[in-house]
Amino acid sequence: MINAAGTEGLAPLKQSRGHLRQDRWVPIALAIIGLLLYLTFRSSSLDDFDSYSFALALETFDVTLQQPQPPGFPIYIGLARFLMLLQADPVFALTTLSALSGAMSMLLIYLLAREGVPYAPQVAVLGALLFGLAPVTWLTSGKALSDMPGMMWTLLALWLWQRWAENPAEGTPSRPLPCAAALVTGLSLGVRPQNTLPLMLFIGWLFTEDLVNHRSLQLWLGVLALGTVATLIWLVPTAIATGGFQAYFATIRHHAAHVGRADSLLGVAAPLSDAFRIRLIALADTLLISLIGTGVYAPLSSSATWRLLALAAMTVPSLIGLDGRSRWTRLLMGWLFLVTAQTLLLETLDRPRLLLPLLPPLTLLVATGWAKRRYSHYIVGAVAALGALVMLIQTAPWAAQLSQAPAPPTQATTYILNRYPAERTLVAAAGSFRAAQVELPNYTLAYLYRFDAAVVDHALKTGTEFIAILDRDQFTPEAINVLSQGSTWVTLEDQTFTRDRRVHSQHDQVRLQILVPSATLPPEALALPSDGCLYVGGADNGRHLGEGWFRPEEIAGVPGRWAGQTLTTTLRLMLEPTTDYALRLHALAYPAGQRITLRINGQTISTLTLPQAWSYIEARLPESEIPRAAPLTLELVHARAESPFQVSRGTSSDTRLLTAAYESLCLTPLEETSD
């Protein structure tokens, strides 16, 4: 971030300052581009668990209730509340703040590069365009999250410190106190403190340089005082609102311990070498998703291949041969290494938005490489134009979906709201419980950070007719047993709401299951279609599904469902007990050598071996085992279950225990077969 003047072949600093004055239209144009893109494509809903927490905080700020989560982000919440004065809508306030911050960040990338390499304005333009049009930047700039405002405040503080550091100190009695830089630094800690590590180290580096060069350190006392005042501006009211400093810091310690267990390197249940390799793979996957929308876990389609080749063509030629002697390059590489290490060691690695802090140094390094003196301005201009066009075409459809398609939790809660009355419906939600809390305020909620069986028991005693289970795959068998009252409540509907994972990786699928008492489900509802085949991957067949199933998905090119939540997977059917039936399953096993035992209402009828490729397996359902005038419960009892994540030692991101996948089940009366 320090000026690179003094490197061989650079233009005089005075001349470069003249270029800064002449090129004022460039940053204005960049800011306008950012504003038009980000404001136009703001999200139509709250996309993330944290988004709902921020929305609740706009009404009632309470860190102890995770409104929002510690450390509270008070400056961020304060700015959003100011925007609420324009329109009393949390989605508007939070997404507008992100959009404004995104445009400002794009401008600050330009300004940082113009200060750092004033002899090469193309670095600033290309760096700003690469940063601003990258999918993770564009999409995060439209969401109700603190990531982009936090990025903007960190970049602003870095730029202010950079400008102050440019002030020549030699031959002058003193340097001016960096008032703006110190104040913005203190305030930035109240926006998103996890983004400020590079800023803190840069300040430490400037202080160390003054110490080594025997400069007066008196101004650093002023820096410390101003930074402390700016920090206290948000820290004191936040602590008071939490019940005092002791209570506030206790909530931070508790939250940090949880994050350490759940998200950090030490939280991976594997030897350290394996854990490090697993997280490296996950980091590469998420970084690629944040840049081109395709990670290392996904199958490499032709479009993904072209995007990967385009990324390589953009980055590899620029990064090869970077001048490692340049102070600008060394600082950018140090910045990138620092945030990469922080992300790899401490952050959860399945959220592209958390990789946003890697983008400024990475894009500026790429831009610096393309602007090397042996490249003509025309080549760099062509690279900038082509790169911007490719990213614009790539990201625009995802941004359009963000602005038009509600997040799956919102889709699911809207579905409940339109079909099931609040006074007769109990809602149990796991990862989407914040969405239920905000979108379904009049419904009884049986999950608020923990599953509450007492709420379920009370609701069932007071006239509840429907149980809506959001995030069905996240509930333990014990919780499902409570909700289904020992399987006496059965599935009426099983719906999965989705949105392209590239738009927002978290909550990209929400499975909703509606339970009703078995006595209220008419027998004809469990009858098979006229062709006698039940396609378990279909959205309309949820009423046939019992325990053990995951959401519908495409498996090796075939629509179906994985089983494995429990070793025993069940189906509920209505059959006429007039003859024996031929049963044909289209299935594949996950563990090798998988064996399944077929049972009807607890009675074993057959044991089969299931291969690891899609195959048809057949069995016979004897007439004597088919109940009369009552549903038949078909149990598929699997011998074993394994997790792809564990089997592949982290090469797969799927941590579910899987037994087998099923596409269809067909039952044919044997008398028809004989004809």
| Encoded amino acid at 163, one letter | R
Tokens representing residue 549 in the block? 């199933």
* Half-sphere exposure (Cβ direction) of 209: Cα atoms closer than 13 Å: 9
Task: Name residues of the chain where pLDDT drops below 70.
Answer: 1-22, 167-174, 373-377, 672-675
What residues does each domain of the chain span?
Answer: 13-404, 405-521, 526-675
DSSP 11: P
SS (H, E, C) 509-543: EEEEEEEEEHHHCCHHHHECCCCCEEECCCHHHHH
DSSP 431: T
pLDDT digits (tens, 9 = 90+) for 189-228: 999 998 888 898 889 988 998 888 877 788 899 999 999 9
In 3D, which of 304, 418, 354, 79 has the Cα closest to residue 195? 354
Other C-beta atoms closer than 10 Å to the C-beta of 369 total 22
Angstrom distance (rounded) from CA 288 to CA 276: 18
DSSP 654: -
Q: Residue 376: its pLDDT value, please?
A: 66
Look at the chain and count its residues.
675
Question: Whose structure tokens read 């790899």?
Answer: 344
pLDDT digits (tens, 9 = 90+) for 66-96: 999 999 999 999 999 999 999 999 999 999 9
Angstrom distance (rounded) from CA 346 to CA 349: 9
Looking at the domain 526-675, which fold is it?
Jelly Rolls (2.60.120)
Question: CA 614 from chain center: how many Å?
Answer: 32
Region for residue 73 given its phi and psi (left: phi exceeds 0; alpha: psi -120 to 50; beta: otherwise): left
| Encoded amino acid at 180, one letter | A
Angstrom distance (rounded) from CA 167 to CA 160: 11
Q: Residue 165: its pLDDT value, please?
A: 86
Q: Are 620 and 606 in contact, with CB atoms under 8 Å apart?
A: yes
Q: Residue 672: its pLDDT value, please?
A: 54
Other C-beta atoms closer than 10 Å to the C-beta of 496 total 22
Q: Residue 386: its pLDDT value, please?
A: 82
